[in-house]
Amino acid sequence: MNPLRISSLVSCFHPKATTSPTSASPLSANFTVLAVALLMVAMMPGAAWSQMVTAVWTNANPDNHHWSQEGETSNWSTAVYPSEGRGGVDHWHVVIGAPAPALLNVSATTTIDLLEVTPLGELDLHGGRRLRIKSGMVNDGLVFVNRDGSAHTTVLTIAEDIGLSGGGRLLLARHSDARLSVDTGKTLLHHDGHTVAGVGKITGNVQNAGVVQADPDAGVGTELWLENGDWSNTGRIEALPGSLLVISSASIENTSGLIRASAGTISLAGRWGETRIRGGRLESDSAGFLEATGWHSVLESVHLDGNLRLPSGNTLTLDSEIRNDGLIAINPTAGALATPLLVKADFELTGNGQLRLHRSAHARLEIEEGATLHQAHGHTITGVGRLTGNVGNQGLVRADGALGSGGRLVLRQGQWTNQGRLEAMPWSTLEVNTLELDNRGGVLGAIGGTIELAGATTVRGGVFEADADGVVEVAGNQVMLEGVRLEAPLLIPSGASLNLRGTMENRHLIAINPNAGAHVTTLAIDSAVELTGEGQVRLGREGHARIAISSENELIQRAGHTIAGTGRITGDFLNQSFVKADASLGSGIVLALLHGRWLNEAVLESRTESRLDLDGLDLFNSPTGVIQTAGGDVRLVGQTQVVGGRLGTLGEGAFEIAGQAVTLKDLRLEAPLKLPGGTSLNLEGSLVNDGIIAVNPTAMAHVTRLQAKTDVHLHGSGWIRLARAGIHTQLTVEPGMTLTHHDGHSIVGTGRLIGNVLNHGLVRADASLGSGPSLGLHSGHWTNRGRLEAQPGSRLEMDGITLDNTEGVILADGGEVLLAGPTHLTGGRLEAARGGFFSVEGNLASVEAICLQAPLEIPRGALLQAAGILENHATLAINPTAGASVTQLHFIADGELTGTGSLLLGRFSHARLVIAEDKVLLQQSGHSISGVGRIIGVLKNQGRIEANASLGSGTVLELGDLTNEGLLKIHPGTVARVPPGVLLVNAPNGRIGGGGTLELQGDWHQNGILTPGPGDYFRTLTIAGSADHSATSTLEIDIGGPEETDRLVVTDTFSAAGGLRVRMLTGAEHLASDDTITIVQAGSVQGTFERIEILPAGEAEIIYGEQEIRLTQFRNIASAQPEQTYHDWIAAQQVPAGQDGPGDDPGQTGYTNLECYYFGLPAMPSDEAQTGPVLQWQRIAGQAELHFSSPRHVTGVRLGCLLSEDLEAWQAGEPPEWLHTSKSRRFYRMHLPGEPDRLFACLKLELE
């Protein structure tokens, strides 16, 4: 052996010759030992090397380059061609140099120990030939395997652990049929500087420090397969343009090596066994790519700087880490077969490259259970497909339908930590399905596409964002968001559900059931949740879009955020912003707040054509809290309680009660509130009402109640309107409680008020506001310090109440006020206007110490009890319709009748004024009792008692024990009867007169004045019985001429005593001395007058006959002149010149719109109309009458009254005809047809 060749041969074995110690395989030590042993043997003379024969290629026959030349001169330096066993030689060292080439044509396998190809040498293995090398190979030339492209398998076999070195190239020239094969368990060391290239197969274990290239230019075909071996690559493995380098069932330790697709393709074909590349660089240029085929390919800790494809139906496993600065494409052709990229252990994906998935459902990145894929910042996973398992993302994960088929990228079944971005591009969906996603520090962005949250997915923290076309959507009913910030529209489609926890900062829109589907759609609150931001939660269908807050949890909506639409919100809620029912945002009209405890510090609102239902809530409004209508309605349903705050309105719309258990407490109402028929509303605490509460507004035949359940205070300037009389509309106060109704507030309409009330405001019966005429006050204790009223056509009924009216007013303002049942009325004023009046029903009502300024009727059969002072300035009529039933005013205690009014008895025997036994009734000056009926009991009169048949039915006024200190006047055709057992005392200051009959069946004491014609009338007074004058009594007779005189007729004995006063009126001055005037006629006359007065002056003689008393012999008679002339009286009445003004209503009948116009009065009377102010309405026997009174001393006038309902026409100078009253001098009365709603009147006074 030539010692000079030994160094080259050593390099065939010694790995250190071409590799560093750190890159050597485990077999390196064995090869080193072998190489050193060979070297030592070669240096020992006569050693084993003497057994190896060197055969040098000589190519002795230039025309024949065959390795074997059977029968010819050999092409070798030896006599025979080299091959194990040839020429008895077992060990061959073959050296091939020029001239080239050497063609291996041996049909059997050729086996040698060492092959050395010099720089000018070339070895060609013909098709079907096989060369087996046992000890080493140094190639500085060219070695072709199957150069002729034969379809026969051609193999260069490495039989032992050997090296392949040199600067030459080993070319495989036909795919599949050109092979470099390393025997099982052996390893080929391919040294730096050497190249294995071409198309074919390399099988077995290889340590590569050189270049391995797939090169289609080297032979037939395009594929170079590296298969079935363990490789260590510190050199370069490469696919040249147009080639396919297939790594099949092989493992490549590539830590410091390079695998590159240079316009070619590198395929990891893990079809029949695992193919693994560990470490190093995987590169491709723009025209080349790497791909994984089969199901057992693995990349471990590699650096990819190029294109890596995982075709449809294949599988690639990633292990440990990959730095990807290129592109990994999964199922790039979008085939219909599952294509998984597998991660089986914790894995790092770094670099600036992309991992692309190209078909939904069929392109997959699968991380096995227990493993986690970590994607670093800068790296991107994109496309359409599936990502399954645990991921820690700091890079970008993007659904991009433009990169594949199907438009959907699914992240499913894993635990994710995202500190990067998860995105959906236009026309794409990023489906997050059954993930635990910790998104704190991360972003989910819908960039023109859809992020779909599905399955049992939980997202914690981070941001959702979107551009104008992007949305986030929920699928299924197990998704949960916790502590996220939403800057994108979030849709919860029909039938889906989303759970919230923690704080959500919503700056955009959460749409619940946005398409108004017919399935329940829920935003579920499973813990304490805060909604912040300036966004909106929008509910899209009544009943089917819901926010459901679980028990013992609370949803807090902070200032700036809004919940709006139609649907339901259930559970506990703290509102610091807007909650709006808005039908324009959804289907249906109702947003229902159900079954929870609410604290409202801001606004609950109902928009146009919408309704906000509060159903089963305990709702507490803070001082800033308001529930308001803004064109829609608010309905309070079930056991709802609203406490505090304000119920307001921004326009149309009303509040409405449904059910019978709603409660309002301590709040302000500034909007209409309706209680439809059959509902109830409870009040507690204080209600400031500046709106209208309408109870049973449609007047349905169902009991409807507004109930004060505790002591309640009603404030404000609003109304409570009761809209149906009887039991169907009620304002009730719980027994033992009191409703305090404050000044400024009103209760109006028809219905019932039941219970205790302290009234400072207005309570008004008004039939125009409801069905039926009556508003009933029932069964309670009332204190009235305000006003109780009855409007025209209405009746205010007080039935069974105790009413302290001491500081209040009750006004019959065109309507009726009825005292019924055991009602007791104490104090205060009873007033009337516009024809209104008071009446009594039944026999249990009572009054005490009242001021009556209105007509009061006690209809037939009724009884009114009275006590104390009854100050009457109107007409109190007992049985005014003259019915045939006993009707009474019964003073049950000492009492007084005061004022300027009158008490009218309307039927003899059946109209009664009764004073209880041992009690005394005092009628004071200014008041009158008139009509026909009975007075029973003790009466002291300082006013007027007028027996007047024209005012009732019958002719008799029957008196009780009477002390008369005023006037007892008996009108013509009327009898004043003193029944047996009754005493009539006419006190010294009392007057009895008139043109009727005083029937004495009992006793009487005449100590006062008898005056048949009091006033300006000449009358005959008849006394049926005896008339005994006392010394203090006076008979007063008016004479105006021989035929004009007063006269006293006594049916029995007249006992003259006391004084006679004769008043000579106008015309008496013409009496002749022989004129005789009879002034008294009696059954018999006894006694004489002790005092005689003729006024103003004159003399006459008195003739006492047995049955008459006459006056005659008149001398020096002067007639009386009025104490005040008409001119004086007119001057006293006139208003300042040029002033016009309305008249008053002294009758207090309710006609407050009656206007009496005054004109400047002339200095002297004329035929022109004159006006006077003494005009009043009265209600007599149920009919309105216009009265005019003038002082007794004013004579020579008559009254005309101009009436009109057309003020404008009157003022324009077109008055109607004058209506004239009777010719009575002092008292003018005119009956008016009906009761006009509006009347203008002017008095016309003319000289007679």
**Is the pLDDT at 1158 greater than 90, yes or no?**
no
CB 864 within 8 A of CB 845: yes
Residue 1231 confidence (pLDDT): 39
Name the token pair of 714.
Answer: 């009603």
Cα 138 from Cα 118, distance rounded (Å): 8
Q: What confidence score (pLDDT) does residue 1234 get?
A: 43
Are 24 and 150 contained in the same domain? Answer: yes
C-beta atoms surrounding 605 within 10 Å: 27
Q: Is residue 313 part of a domain?
A: no
**Amino acid (1-letter code) at residue 155:** V
Q: Which amino acid is at 192?
A: D
Quick one: pLDDT at residue 793? 92
Are 123 and 102 found together in one domain?
A: yes
pLDDT at 69: 67
Highest mean pLDDT (candidates 588-597, 1133-1142, 1172-1181): 588-597
Q: Does residue 34 surpass a pLDDT of 70?
A: no
User: What does the pLDDT read at residue 1175?
Assistant: 42
Say whether both 1181 and 1102 belong to one domain: no
| CB-count burial class (<10 Å; 0-12, 13-18, 19+) for 1163 | exposed
- What's the chain's length in residues? 1248
Residue 1068: the pLDDT is 84
Is the Cα dihedral 86, 89, 92, 94 positive or negative?
Answer: negative
Contact between 550 and 581 under an 8 Å Cβ cutoff? The reply is no
Please check whether residues 119 and 242 belong to one and the same domain.
yes
| Whole-number average pLDDT of the chain | 85
pLDDT of residue 200: 92
Q: Which residues are CB-contacts of 776 (< 8 A; sequence separation ≥ 6)?
A: 725, 726, 751, 752, 753, 797, 798, 799
Q: List the single range of 215-219, 516-520, 667-671, 853-857 with lowest mean pLDDT.
A: 853-857
Which three-class secondary structure state does DSSP give residue 1111?
strand
Residue 1063 tokens read as 């008043």
The whole-number average pLDDT for the span 432-452 is 94
Alpha carbon distance 110, 51 (integer Å): 18
Band (pLDDT 50/70/90 cuts) for residue 1015 is low
Residue 1229: per-residue pLDDT? 39
Are 604 and 635 within 8 A, CB to CB? no
Task: Say if residue 973's pLDDT is above 70.
Answer: yes
Q: For residue 720, what are its two tokens?
A: 């409570």
Kind and range of the H or E run holding 28: helix 28-42
Instruction: State the pLDDT at residue 1248.
Output: 39
For the record, the structure tokens of 864 come out as 């009114």
pLDDT for 700 beyond 50: yes
As a whole-number percent, the residues of the chain with pLDDT over 90 amount to 70
Q: Are 1072 and 1041 in contact (CB under 8 A)?
A: no
β-pair partners for 957: 933, 976
Q: Tell whether 1138 and 1042 lie within a shared domain.
A: no
pLDDT for residue 44: 39
pLDDT band at 19 (very low <50, low <70, confident <90, very high): very low
Which residue, among 272, 226, 270, 234, has the nearest Cα to 253 in the 3D structure?
234
Cis peptide leading into 99, omega within 30 of 0?
A: yes
3-state secondary structure of 749: strand
**In which band, very low, low, confident or very high, does the pLDDT at 12 lie, cut at 50, 70 and 90?**
low
The domain of 1219 spans 1126-1247
What backbone phi and psi angles, to 5 degrees, belong to 10? -60, -40
Return d(Cα 605, Cα 6) in angstroms, integer.
101
Would you say residue 702 has pLDDT above 60? yes
Quick one: 727 and 786 in the same domain? yes
pLDDT-wise least confident of 132-146, 545-559, 1040-1054, 1121-1135: 1121-1135
What gap in Å lies between CA 177 and CA 149, rounded to an integer? 8
Residues contacting residue 108 through CB under 8 Å, at least 6 positions apart? 83, 130
Average pLDDT over residues 432-443: 94
Q: Assess whether 1157 and 1088 both reside in one domain.
A: no
- 889 pLDDT more than 80: yes
Residue 1179 or 678, more confident: 678
> What is the rounded distance in angstroms from the CA atom of residue 965 to the CA atom of residue 980?
22
Tokens 């502590």, residue located: 483
- pLDDT, residue 1146, reads 36
Mean pLDDT of 1229-1238: 41
| Contact by Cβ (8 Å): 571, 549 | yes
Residue 114 lies in a domain: yes
Q: Distances from the Cα of 949 to the Cαs of 483, 879, 905, in angstroms? A: 94, 14, 10
Q: What is the mean pLDDT of residues 144-153?
A: 90
Residue-level pLDDT at 25: 40
Assess if residue 303 is contained within a domain.
no
Of residues 695 and 74, more confidence is placed in 695
Query: Is 882 part of any domain?
Result: no
In the listed set 1098, 1121, 1144, which residue is the last one of a domain according to the structure? 1121
Beta strands per DSSP E along 1029-1068 = 1034-1041, 1044-1045, 1047-1056, 1059-1064
Q: Which residue has the higher pLDDT, 160 or 36?
A: 160
Residues near 1122 by beta carbon (within 8 Å), at least 6 away in sequence: 1193, 1194, 1195
Give the model's pLDDT for residue 348. 93
Q: What is the pLDDT of residue 1196?
A: 44
| Average pLDDT, integer, range 1220-1233 | 38
Q: How confident is the model at residue 73 (pLDDT cuts 50, 70, 90)?
A: low
Of 14-28, 119-133, 740-754, 942-956, which range is least confident? Answer: 14-28
User: CA end-to-end span of the chain, whole Å?
Assistant: 181
Burial 161-177 (b: 16+ CB within 10 A, else e): bbbbbbebbbbbbbbbb
User: Does residue 1023 fall inside a structural domain?
Assistant: no
User: Does pLDDT of 97 surpass 70?
Assistant: yes
The whole model's pTM is what?
A: 0.69
Specify whether 1137 is located in the same domain as 1169.
yes
Q: What is the pLDDT of residue 234?
A: 95
Same domain, 1091 and 1167: no
Q: Which of 287, 302, 327 is the last residue of a domain?
A: 287
DSSP H or E segment with residue 42: helix 28-42
Q: Which of the four pLDDT bands, split at 50, 70 and 90, describes residue 108?
A: confident
Q: Is residue 562 situated within a structural domain?
A: no
Q: What is the pLDDT of residues 238-272, one digit of tens each?
A: 999 999 999 888 899 999 999 999 999 999 888 88
What residues contact residue 217 under an 8 Å CB cut-off, 6+ apart?
240
Yes or no: say if 995 and 1022 are a contact pair by the CB < 8 Å rule. Answer: no
- 28 pLDDT higher than 90: no
Separation between Cα atoms, residue 101 and residue 170, nearest integer Å: 14
CA distances from 68 to 78, 103, 122, 170 (A): 12, 8, 15, 21
Determine the Cα–Cα distance for residues 619 and 623; give it in Å rounded to an integer: 13
Query: What is the signed CA dihedral for 1194, 1200, 1206, 1207, rounded to 10 degrees?
Result: -30
Burial tier of 1121 (Cβ tally within 10 Å: 0-12, 13-18, 19+): exposed
Contacts of 1166 (CB under 8 A, 6+ apart): none
Question: Which whole number is the average pLDDT over 682-709?
Answer: 94
The verdict on residue 71 lying in a domain is: yes
Domain boundary among 229, 261, 287: 287
Instruction: Report residue 726: phi and psi, to 5°.
Output: 90, -155
Residue 1117 has pLDDT above 90, yes or no: no
Are the C-beta atoms of residues 136 and 117 closer than 8 Å to each other? no
Biggest CA–CA distance in the chain, Å, is 214
pLDDT of residue 664: 94
Q: Is residue 82 part of a domain?
A: yes
1138 and 1116, same structural domain? Answer: no
- Number of structural domains found in the chain: 4
1216 in the same domain as 1100: no
**What's the average model confidence in pLDDT over 960-965?**
96
pLDDT band at residue 641 under the 50/70/90 scheme: very high
pLDDT for 342 beyond 60: yes
Paired with 994 in beta bridges are 970
pLDDT band, residue 1224 (cuts 50/70/90): very low
The pairs formed by 1211-1219 with CB atoms below 8 angstroms and a separation of 24 or more are: 1218/1244
**Whether residue 119 is found in the same domain as residue 240:** yes
pLDDT at residue 40 in the model: 39
Task: Calculate the alpha carbon distances from 1115 to 461, 992, 1062, 1069, 1169 in Å.
Answer: 128, 29, 14, 9, 42
- pLDDT at residue 1174 above 50? no
Lowest mean pLDDT among 66-80, 655-669, 959-973, 1147-1161: 1147-1161
User: Which range has the worst mean pLDDT, 396-400, 1045-1049, 1199-1203, 1231-1235?
Assistant: 1231-1235
Distance set, CA 493 to CA 308, 400, 509 (Å)? 39, 23, 13
Residues 1129-1158 have a mean pLDDT of 36
Q: With contact defined as beta carbons under 8 Å apart, do 298 and 274 qualify?
A: yes
Angle CA(243)–CA(245)–CA(248) in degrees, nearest 5?
A: 150
- Reported as a single tens digit per residue, the pLDDT across 35-47 is 443 443 344 344 3
> Predicted confidence band at 1120 (pLDDT cuts at 50, 70, 90)?
low
